[in-house]
Amino acid sequence: MQILVVGATGGTGLQAVEQALQRGHFVTAFVRDPTKITIKHSNLTVQTGDVLKPNTLLHAVRRQDAVFCALGSRPGQKDHAVTDGTKNLIAAMRQAGVRRLLVVSSVGVGTSYEEASLPSKLFIKTLLSGVIAEKEIQEQAIRHSKLDWVIARPTRLTDGPLTGQYRLGEHLPFPLFALPRISRADVAAFLLDQLDKDDYLGKAVTITGK
């Protein structure tokens, strides 16, 4: 398949690029700074652009079979790359006729907040409040996009190895004082598995390590 990875220089985005190449796909990494992509592969195309510039996105989306969106923000970030960038991405996909959208969101968005552990809720309400607010708007835009989408809401992300062992579900409660984690590698693998599956189509699922 032809896969566009948006947010390809972040931890989960890089995992998506590497794993998609390992699976034999053709990958386009959409980045603002191409020097941050050090992977070399005959099936990899690095395309420079900006999600806040719709014309660059449209050029990247054309002729793709699916899009992997790993846009993220940091506490205190001033621009709205996650929300505005996702809206631009959706518009480009609809114009280009590309339907499959795989998205990395976060635990704490939507109903997953009520099911989060107490430590997670404290982080969400304080340090991560702005980040989660962006993700709420992002998910709302995706739900109204009329695309074929799957959203993964990971717990605390780590740089651990790919294990293939995780728990997931639309409703996934945690013990009160749990500090759940999952590797970026496992999150990327789960979403890539959805390229040709419909099990979680139109669903936002929480995902965490076992």
122 Cβ neighbours under 8 A, 6+ residues apart: none
Numbers of helices and strands, H then E, in the chain: 7, 10
Distance CA 26, CA 154 (A): 26
CATH of the domain at 161: 3.40.50.720
How many distinct structural domains can be found in the chain? Answer: 1
CB 59 within 8 A of CB 93: no
What pLDDT was estimated at residue 31? 96
Which residue in the block uniquely carries the two structure tokens 């790919």? 162
pLDDT digits (tens, 9 = 90+) for 159-179: 999 999 999 999 998 988 888
pLDDT digits (tens, 9 = 90+) for 175-202: 888 889 999 999 999 999 999 999 999 9
Q: Which residues of the chain have pLDDT under 50?
A: none
Name the residue range of residue 192's domain.
2-209
Joined tokens for residue 196: 């040709």
Query: For the chain, what's the residue count?
Result: 210
Distance CA 129, CA 116 (A): 14
Instruction: Answer whether 0.75 is exceeded by the pTM.
Output: yes
Dihedral sign computed on CA atoms, order 51, 204, 150, 193: positive
Which residue in the block uniquely carries the two structure tokens 């340090």? 127
